Amino acid sequence: MSELPLKDLPLKVLPLKDPLPDAADGEPRPGKVRKPVGWSTIMLAALVAVSAVLVYRRDGIDGVTAILAHDMSLFGGILPRVLAGCLLGAFIAEILPHDKVSKSLGPDSGLKGLLIGTAFGAILPGGPFTAYPVASALLAVGADFGATIAMVVSWTLIGYGRAVAWELPIMGTEFTLWRIVISLPLPLIAGFLGRVVYTRLHRDGPR
């Protein structure tokens, strides 16, 4: 029996591709693997090399050595906080229920997701070593770009920790309140634009 060309076979006998797993399967989608060395790392290394040469030409090896010693001391002080922030993000990604996060902050959460992200960012304590690992954890467990952008922008503009510790004592109550009121819509706008742009760029691909 001669074989028919693939295009002449009935649709029902054509091999079907396995469907992509979705959130309903309960299995997390594999995340994008980040390369340890990318263009940003290469550009940063080039800038460091050029800066080191300029400092060497102006101050000699003593100037370069002093900067390296100071930076190593600074790195040693920051490293524990970076480690704590990364561990916090990893634990949050394991603790949070993926289905509930996807429902509340996912691409179909609409305005509610943007409001939740904005409110969460406004009350999130700590500095960048806390905020960015938490934002990364939310992305890993089902939050979309829009809600996560709203959270980060809200933490940056509205975050109560900096307002209470620095802005109120230095700038006064009236300035702080007006600054917060004016900043309130900005996380929602940024989250909405981020959601629209990301959806259009990845309309035919998985999240």
pLDDT confidence of residue 190: 94
Confidence of residue 88 (pLDDT cuts 50, 70, 90): confident
What is the average per-residue pLDDT within 105-129?
87
- Lowest-confidence pick of 69-78, 107-116, 183-192: 69-78
What is the average per-residue pLDDT within 166-183?
89
pLDDT confidence of residue 16: 46
The answer to whether 106 touches 191, Cβ cutoff 8 Å, is no
Q: Which residue has the tokens 């790392």?
A: 41
Burial of 149 (0-12, 13-18, 19+ CB in 10 A): buried
What is the average per-residue pLDDT within 109-135?
88
SS (H, E, C) the chain: CCCCCHHHCCHHHCCCCCCCCCHHHCCCCCCCCCCCCCHHHHHHHHHHHHHHHHHHHHHHHHHHHHHHHHHHHHHHHHHHHHHHHHHHHHHHHHHCCHHHHHHHHCCCCHHHHHHHHHHHHHHCCCCHHHHHHHHHHHHHCCCCHHHHHHHHHHHHHCCHHHHHHHHHHHHCHHHHHHHHHHHCHHHHHHHHHHHHHHHHHCCCCCC
Q: Which residue has the higher pLDDT, 100 or 28?
A: 100
Inform me whether the pLDDT recorded for 18 exceeds 70: no
**Distant-in-sequence, close-in-space partners of 199: CB < 8 Å, separation ≥ 6:** 107
pLDDT confidence of residue 98: 80
Confidence of residue 9 (pLDDT cuts 50, 70, 90): very low
pLDDT confidence of residue 204: 52
Q: Which residue has the higher pLDDT, 98 or 151?
A: 151
Q: How far apart are CA 133 and CA 106, in angstroms?
A: 18
pLDDT > 70 fraction of the chain, expressed in percent and rounded = 80
Confidence of residue 207 (pLDDT cuts 50, 70, 90): very low
What is the average per-residue pLDDT within 79-86?
78
**Distant-in-sequence, close-in-space partners of 107: CB < 8 Å, separation ≥ 6:** 144, 146, 195, 199, 207
pLDDT confidence of residue 203: 63
pLDDT confidence of residue 19: 45
- Lowest-confidence pick of 6-15, 140-149, 169-178: 6-15
Confidence of residue 33 (pLDDT cuts 50, 70, 90): low
Inform me whether the pLDDT recorded for 85 exceeds 90: no
**Distant-in-sequence, close-in-space partners of 137: CB < 8 Å, separation ≥ 6:** 88, 89, 90, 92, 93, 96
